[in-house]
Structure 1
Amino acid sequence: MKKIGLFVLGAIAAVTLFANIGSLAVLAVSLVILYYAWKRWMKAETTMKKLFWITIGIIAFVASASNAPALIAVAAAYVLYVVYKKWNETKQMKPKEMDDPFAHFEKQWAELERNF
């Protein structure tokens, strides 16, 4: 039953991610342009260059803000990652010796007797 729930959750996350992949790409490009404009603005020496890079930065910021649905794609990618990790998680089986609460006691008692 757990695998079915993980499958359904993973399928929904995958569809959501692929539906928003375009806005995610545009968000990435606009953030790179915004970063580049910031770096160039910091290095600019004349007022005209500073105004030019501020204008480019504002345009890139508006483009980034308009792609807010891309955050849904980021959340869907994270959910898909978590589902993948949970799907491949294996349960560790206990050996028969660990099932018996007195087996460990018997083993330690035997070690104590050997030491004395």
Structure 2
Amino acid sequence: MKNFWLLLAGGIAALVLLSNLGPLIGLAVSLAVLYFIFKQFLKTDSFGWKIVLGIVGVFVLLTAASNIPAIIGIVAAYVLFVVYKKWNNQKPTYKQDNDPFQNFEKQWSELNKN
């Protein structure tokens, strides 16, 4: 039953991740552009170029902020990762009575008593 719930949670997380793939890509691209703008802003010595980079940086930051639904996609990716880890770390569930060696020991001790 636990596998069913893990499969259900993983399926829902995968669907949410796929539905938010566009905002995730948009967020990644806008953050990469913002990073390069910031690096150029720190490198330049020209006051005019710093103003231009600052204005462009604010517009790119607003573009990144408009991709807030990507946070839901990031959470879904994390849930999918957790489900994957739990699925692989499950221990097999079996009863001790079904172990053939223990049954053999029980039967051997019963034969020795007779």
> Which position in structure 1 is the counterpart of 2:8?
8
Deviation per residue, 1:42-89 (Å, 9 max, x gap): 111111110111012111100010000000000000000000111111
Percent identity between matched residues is 44
> Which position in structure 1 is the counterpart of 2:78?
78
Q: Report how many residues are paired.
A: 94
TM norm structure 1: 0.77
Cα separation, 1, equivalents of 2:22 and 2:59: 19
Can you give the 5+ residue segments of structure 1 that lack an aligned partner in the other structure?
Answer: 97-116
Report deviation, 1:90.
3.3
Cα separation, 2, equivalents of 1:5 and 1:90: 13
Match for 1:18: what amino acid?
L
Equivalences for residues 1-116 of structure 1 within 5 A: 1-91=1-91
Cα separation, 2, equivalents of 1:6 and 1:23: 26
Query: Deviation above 6 Å: which 4+ runs of structure 1?
Result: none
Can you give the 5+ residue segments of structure 2 that lack an aligned partner in the other structure?
Answer: 97-114
